[in-house]
Structure 1
């Protein structure tokens, strides 16, 4: 079924909200202010989902997507928007989530980072169908959309499509990591191969298949925002929670702090101990091992997974009464929920910055700096 929809506002998740005969429709491929024709792809009791099939009245920020599969691939959300429009859309989403879930009226702007909109993604997971075709999953589907001859345009320079096809195994995902070397991960052994990233004069080893920020500017940008917000003082104690391979721990050590880190992934902790031998690291889920951490801390860095830190961890941090907390968030909804919990535990967000570390997608990274209310 195809319907005409007037699009109103952006919503979290790379969709724009419109209405058809009074019913809400979440539309992919559109922009606020447009009048479009939409194919309804999913129906529900309270709302439908649809994809744009024709633009009747275009918004000023609309552009032709550079990628030939942009409308079918589920990897990018905003290839049809220019950069300033993408930043405005992400700003609106962050502001809405903070207002609705935390009661915070944010007047900031999502900030661009060096590098432009294309050629930035250093870690890419490709889907491979049963016939060995390499591509990406379609939006909200298991179907594989084949890579075009030019490859993925947001991926950092790496293997050509022909090389990916040669090493692909039917039905098995294929990963590519671009760091000091390019690693095509086709076997479990390749996922454990260490690669190296340099940030602020310190080199960090990380498994090729392990966690590291996907934008080449991300580690530097986020470390700078954390240090600027915390203003660490020599001799202070600090916790780095969800520390990964020790990125923020290394920066805090280099600023003269005594650091304890915690991370559930044992391989990451092994790397962290080698990357930052000056710090102490514990292995285990933060919500379970927080009692083994120092009872007091001057500073805390939180960099939780997409679901957020949660009330147990937020409470454990607040109980230690740090003078400042840096919360690094890849999901504005999870950030907002945790900031509301922090407020209830006596901490307020004194600053919140958003960074466009995932151009062309709906994702955004935020850094919130918190201080005690009293």
Structure 2
């Protein structure tokens, strides 16, 4: 029988759970708020476990910051009433918007102290508040959204019956969805919920530029028999015909062996032309040998187009020489792009406010993706400057190569960042936006050896940022500016932008 505990809830910890104690044992509790008294059902842990995990099922003494959860399926209280688990992905939905950001700020500061070994209070940061705190900033300023309708990308599992579904936290159970309120309206209100995707095991929905059109990448189940595959394609064509907002549908097929070059992408039955094929004086896509992957994927256009278009934010005509820098980028829907509808403009604005990129500057953009920050740097550096754009993912790098094919100041390299550290010398600015795992010691060592004037670090994970910041600061780098943004409302995640200045010895 599942054990239920009565707990006094302590502080919020990194990862979206609060800390409580029961008979001396630590219990990580989700769906709670610090200061509450709750009853929580143990979801993981036995008599010999060092700690337990639990979900709130009843609130005995509620926080003033508790509200009715913004998403019924993610509400642990209503889930308990219906004898099921809450879906993951909205673990802060029961907390008022402002208090979510307050708790995230506390977690960020604690993580810097615990892992980074430094106190935010001790850094001389140009904070407008003047209180020495880093406040997590709201970026949904265009309406009372309560943290809803911000995701331009969402991924769904497919149940055995073909319904779009999501999993609870740390569970493989599938819960059928009737909508996705964190997603922009064009996804949330589309005809994909209630449609049968039988034969697929995952569906990715993309609303490029937060616009009205939706692109679907439908991942067919491995080993799907050909008749079932054809039936899936026919249903997808019907979905496209009945729902004008579903503009593009791409079918993704996994293969146990590498896919022949003529079998990837394009219209149905045709080969996809390599997007890096266009060459220009500025976009030299130098493809290094990629390690063989056991699982390759081919893409087939069922309806519409193979690509989507995302706008590229620019700080404004007074910011620098923008002639020749594209205003939008064409990418494939499976390529990485910031998922919050306001994230590109928010992050570019933060970079523009912090970093110094005069005309003629030399910049390196690491983990560059399809070129969001590369475009910003190229616009400021102008034709007399230089920007090295480095991305390991072939698809995103190919998009960047095509994007900057007419920008002579940009060089695009498709390569792991670790393999190009010797190319970073004599840079005014090195910008990096690594994955959640962070840059790591080897890359930080290479950046330090390159001796740029400034380093701009964009991070979606406080713990890996704290580790890398500690490594930079131990070498004498100064944390000169820092902003944290609530790019993932109703979740525990956050995004930070930090500027480091070179040691004085340089």
Query: Please, what TM-score do these two structures have when normalized by structure 1?
Result: 0.95
2: CA distance, partners of 1:112 / 1:231 = 25
The residue number in structure 2 matching 1:177 is 206
2: CA distance, partners of 1:49 / 1:16 = 10
Q: SS in structure 2 opposite 1:358?
A: coil
**Which one of 146, 156, 170 corresponds to residue 140 of structure 1?**
170
In structure 2, relative to structure 1, the CA distance for the partners of 1:190 and 1:7 (3 Å cut) is farther
Structure 1: stretches of 5+ with no match in the other structure: none
Question: How much does 1:152 deviate?
Answer: 0.9
Pairs aligned (count): 371
The residue number in structure 1 matching 2:157 is 127
1: CA distance, partners of 2:424 / 2:119 = 34
The residue number in structure 2 matching 1:196 is 309
Q: Verify: 1:206 aligned to 2:331, yes or no.
A: yes
- 1:104-139 Cα shifts (integer Å, max 9, x gaps): 222211110025311110000011122212121111
2: CA distance, partners of 1:282 / 1:30 = 46
The residue number in structure 2 matching 1:299 is 429
Q: SS in structure 2 opposite 1:166?
A: coil
Q: Which runs of structure 2 are paired with 1:1-374 in the superposition (5 Å)?
A: 1-43=3-45, 45-71=49-75, 72-106=86-120, 107-114=133-140, 115=142, 116=145, 117-148=147-178, 151-159=179-187, 160=189, 162-166=191-195, 168-170=197-199, 172-179=201-208, 181-186=213-218, 187-188=251-252, 189=299, 193-200=306-313, 202-256=327-381, 257-277=385-405, 278=407, 279-291=410-422, 293-374=423-504
1: CA distance, partners of 2:339 / 2:483 = 19
In structure 2, relative to structure 1, the CA distance for the partners of 1:86 and 1:284 (3 Å cut) is same
In structure 2, relative to structure 1, the CA distance for the partners of 1:294 and 1:52 (3 Å cut) is closer
2: CA distance, partners of 1:123 / 1:346 = 39
- 1:211-234 Cα shifts (integer Å, max 9, x gaps): 000111100010111121112111
Question: How much does 1:346 deviate?
Answer: 2.6
1: CA distance, partners of 2:157 / 2:114 = 36
Q: Once superposed, which parts of structure 1, at least 4 consecutive aligned residues long, lie more than 4 Å away?
A: 159-162
Question: How much does 1:171 deviate?
Answer: 5.5
- 1:21-58 Cα shifts (integer Å, max 9, x gaps): 12110001100000000101111622100000100000
CA contact (8 A) 1:131 1:170 kept: no
2: CA distance, partners of 1:169 / 1:349 = 51
2: CA distance, partners of 1:14 / 1:141 = 16
In structure 2, relative to structure 1, the CA distance for the partners of 1:203 and 1:161 (3 Å cut) is closer
CA contact (8 A) 1:129 1:170 kept: no
2: CA distance, partners of 1:222 / 1:167 = 38
1: CA distance, partners of 2:196 / 2:371 = 32
Q: SS in structure 1 opposite 2:353?
A: helix
Question: How much does 1:170 deviate?
Answer: 4.4
Q: SS in structure 2 opposite 1:353?
A: strand
- 1:325-346 Cα shifts (integer Å, max 9, x gaps): 1100000000000001111233
CA contact (8 A) 2:70 2:93 kept: yes
Decide which structure has the larger Cα Rg and report it. 2
2: CA distance, partners of 1:231 / 1:365 = 21
CA contact (8 A) 2:162 2:196 kept: no
CA contact (8 A) 1:42 1:48 kept: yes
2: CA distance, partners of 1:52 / 1:190 = 44
